[in-house]
Chains A and B, each alone.
Chain A
Amino acid sequence: MILDSKIPEGPLAEKWDKHKFNVKLVNPANKRKYEVIVVGTGLAGASAAATLGELGYNVKAFCFQDSPRRAHSIAAQGGINAAKNYQNDGDSVFRLFYDTIKGGDYRAREANVYRLAQVSVDIIDQCVAQGVPFAREYGGLLANRSFGGAQVSRTFYARGQTGQQLLLGAYSALNRQIAYGKVKMYPRTEMLDLVMVDGKARGIVVRNLITGKIESHSAHAVVLATGGYGNVFFLSTNAMGSNATAAWRAHKKGALFANPCFTQIHPTCIPVSGEYQSKLTLMSESLRNDGRVWVPKTVELAQRLRRGEIAINDIAEEDRDYYLERKYPAFGNLVPRDVASRNAKLVCDEGRGVGGSGLAVYLDFADAIKRDGQPAIAAKYGNLFEMYAKITDENPYEKPMRIYPAVHYTMGGLWVDYNLMTNIPGLYATGECNFSDHGANRLGASALMQGLADGYFVIPYTIGDYLAQMPYAKVSTDHPAFKEAEEAVIAKNQQLLSIKGTRTVDEFHKALGLLMWDYCGMARNAEGLQFAKQEIRKLRDEFWRDVKVTGVNEELNITLEKANRVADFLELGELMVDDALHRNESCGGHFREEYQTPENEALRDDENFAYVAAWEFTGVGNEPVLHKEDLKFENVKLTQRSYK
């Protein structure tokens, strides 16, 4: 198989415009003859479904929540990047492109990232036109803040609820199309398989989560916008329902899965408080604009603090180690996420961590409150401070926050070409579900940008190019390919229900999560990864022998829903380990302990690993096949990332 990224010819800055001119168009009157399925209604899915509806296509949209507005994009806090240069601080499309490529540690495609930076400016215009209430200055113009990995202020925000406001904008556009009858919405409906006819994606099989009914939907193209797979780790900042099932089942039908080991561990999350913990809560990176990260200078001080022998205020200023400011004077507390996370782990491993468990560092606002006053800080971060207080029962205006890294985002995902099409004709992947734009590490405020770029401004063009070459004729859901897929889904559900074992789905999920966190998390090494691979296989075997799923298929069955998702995580986890094991270098969020600089920074091997690793499924328990897409850098020079 040859991976053709379909990157258009020509200079970087002209590729997208040229491509838009060259793609085939579907005549307005003919658009209504095509049906498109969009799975997922987060930023990536809702924006695509609404825009395709506006263009005249007939769209069916699906989500597993009870309303499209509840997709996990709603939880994004900090902001969205755009190269508007409203602050006149030297920003430009090229700078946003450059920061994103560098932040991703040179493992993303230049052409895709450049296009992302280009359309970023249109996103802000679109959202404002929809009524998204972004933060504003007193003069009435839009305000910006800074985010990690950038030295300009280009992040647009709506207090600490940017994702909510952007998604509600997309949801409103979606609602308008639902009202017009151009989009038919299927909430509480979970995709469980992809259906292919003559080698093309032609539909999906879903389960109605209220009645359990298994149904098929046919279309001319299928777009997966189903989010990330961070919940492989059980504990993450993702929503409880976030899952990999749609993408994974497409992978099992032939779609390649790219860079699965590139996961982002976010540095500022509320630490784990106990065994019962069901998820982790992010404290937005924007807090690092004003909060200073520190731990005690010595192990001894940290120990006494943990034992409660001294209080935080007993630690003199000179005994506090603001380690990010010390090691990275140029970026300070605003270094990229992978760097911040790794350093938090480092100081905790040294024994200098705080909190009861020693697995936390301080994020301190005392100086900012002294400088700007409490009301100013409350205006910027009020809801985050409240959330912190609710969860921990501590007041962050008086006491520094305790934070620790947690799984947050997955850069890996389904392999797509420049058109966002997977290697299966007619199957597209957008948003966090694809692998495309963030390389080995995503910069803050860039996922919202990518989701909306894909949905509003990329797929509406590129899907037309494909549809223009498709016959209007529909495939009936009575076609044997649909029946076969339905039967397989039903059989799998029956199998899960018939095991009647002794261990719950959550027990397996937690065990898998722990393996992934310990061996395929912030730091990895070959020995640990090999061990994890064997353990995951054992766990998967036990799952299929001993899992306990009660009830029947034909009802609202929360255990069966979870069991399907965890069954897929147990397979995906192994692929992540395989990928991490094969990549004998460190880059971005992938830190192999064997490959580091004397200063403990990630040591890339551009000679041997400047490629996208796209994996082909060959059966559960079989070794996957690796396909490489070489990355060519013509506009940036590959350098050792430095934030000093």
Chain B
Amino acid sequence: MKNGLLIVVIIGFTIPLLISCEKFFPPAPADDEVLDGFVEGLSSEQQAQFLAGDVAFNSVFTAETGLGPSFVATSCGSCHPGDGKGHPFTTLIRFGQGDTTGNSYLDNGGPQLQNRAIPAHSPEQLPPGVPFAKFTPPANTGLGFLAALTDAQILANADPNDVNGDGISGIPNYLTPPSYFQPQSYQQNFGGKYIGRFGKKAAAITLLHQTVNAYVQDIGVTSEFAMSEPSIYNGTNPTPDNVPDPEVDGATVQNVVFYLRTLKAPIQRSPDNADAIAGKQLFLNANCGKCHIPQWTTPQSDIAALSNKTFYPYTDLLLHDMGSELDDGYTEGSAKTSEWRTPPLWGIGLAKNSQGGQYFLLHDGRAITIHDAIMVHGGEAANSKNQYKQLSETDKQRLIKFLETR
């Protein structure tokens, strides 16, 4: 009788094990709830390179493998968790440039402050009285689509002299490229300068440019593209670490770039939500879409999965004067101190899931709600902000609902 019980217990326990395991496993989060994942249509070879890049993006550097000596964080994934926006814990500081003539601290600690250091080394201190700004890490999704656009497409929306009189005068950031830069057919040469697309001030021309700088400035990791450790303000002779340079190999850097190019675009959630549909109209009526341009289509690309694709990033990749409240007195390239690149708004509704349960919006994470972020829009966006201000409370909520479903 009791033996029977034993057998029942054992069978009762192992049967579910053998048959319906899936029921007992945590389900995968829905595709539209996560930012990680690759674009549709990659070949298996491309998927393998994506995975190699994914591993490198999340691999942690230690003092033994090249971290520092001074650094801000230990991996790309520490600042862009789940490929999403980062937390003030990893907000970084850039300094040393107060106008469009360039950064005067490049050989003396600039452009970035490495506020942390491996044991037995000193972190960098901000030079007194220097212009600086804080940068909170943005999301990394869908960048391949933005990278695939031609300069001509971006320039089509530029209106530096506001010829159309709408008060909005987008302008690209023109930059001197780094030595390893190889111009592509979709890029134009403006007297030796090229258009920047990435970063808060659009100061990185390509994803390679952004990645190389991230390795060396954010993590203190040298690559064949940037062989010196980040310089330290007043550190006449910063003690190097014991790891031979380059600390990351060129193939790994290229894998990370491929990963960034092929990360999927955020997937729109609840597209049929009535409030979101109404919110979209309010967004367009308030001229938000003049800078946060909803829709783009890529031309032919060397990655087939990115060719001729329509996507919805809500950006124009151009710089705009955002008024005095957002003017920190620091700048990069040909941008003015009050100018910021329109950030893509796709995936913004998922930001809380990577920022620790709370929003930290705008370039320095100062806005903790979408409403707050809109309310500090000034300069070229002042009209637009005022139109938003005049909306009823319900309509404001609809507009925000719309953004949260992007």
A, B assembled together: no
Q: Which residues of B contact A (CB under 8 A)?
A: none
Q: Which residues of A contact B (CB under 8 A)?
A: none
